Amino acid sequence: MQSVRFGRWEISDDPEATRKAYASVPLGGPEKCGCEACQNFAAARAQLYPAEVLVLFEKLGISPNGEVEVYHLARLAPGRHLYGGWFHFVGSILSGADAMKQVAENIWQPDLEKINENFSLGFSSRLGLVRVPFAGPPLVQLEFAAKVPWILPSTEPT
């Protein structure tokens, strides 16, 4: 295990165990879903993760095309869409407030740190949709929100 600091968090993580788990996941969430919004996310993926986030993914052992889940939230403007999603990695949060805050019974709201105008992320101990290769060890969920261009030739959702 190693320790990584990012934003308000200190994370204990096992990048080798995380890489091993990702090696057993054949498709990322967007590719597995295949809906038009997910296809657009996958097509735009190469331009949406900031360099410092890609460095963080490498340190944690996260595959940048291995999102567990991606979801379309809204069309912000023509050609610009808000998405959310998350990754898992082997580890635990050592310090820093959880990125998911309960605002009412069964209602959670993300409290992410802004990386740039188009991308925010945070770490949570609340897990969703844990894939079989990740079952067992302690996990952290890396939540993100991204403003993504619509690059498919099809008509954008409204």
Instruction: Please state the φ and ψ torsions of residue 135, each to the nearest 5 degrees.
Output: -65, 140
Asked whether residue 158 is assigned to any structural domain, the reply reads: no
Tell me, yes or no, whether 155 lies in a domain. no
Q: Assess if residue 49 is contained within a domain.
A: yes
Mean pLDDT of the region 58-76? 94
Residue 158 has pLDDT above 80, yes or no: no
> Is residue 139 assigned to a domain?
yes
| CB burial string 45-82: b at 16+ within 10 A, e below | beebbeeebeebbeebbbbbbbbbbbbbeeeeeeeebe
What domain range is 127 assigned to?
Answer: 2-149
At 80-107, the pLDDT tens digits run 999 999 999 999 999 988 888 877 887 7
How many structural domains is the chain composed of?
A: 1
Which spans in 24-64 are helix H? 29-33, 36-44, 51-60
Domain annotation covers residue 34: yes
CB 106 within 8 A of CB 45: no
46 in a domain, yes or no? yes
Instruction: Report how far residue 98's alpha carbon sits from residue 83's, in angstroms, rounded to the nearest whole number.
Output: 20
Is residue 90 in some structural domain?
yes
Residue 156 located in a structural domain: no
**How far apart, in whole angstroms, are the C-alpha atoms of residue 46 and residue 86?**
16
pLDDT tens, residue by residue, 131-148 = 989 999 999 999 999 999
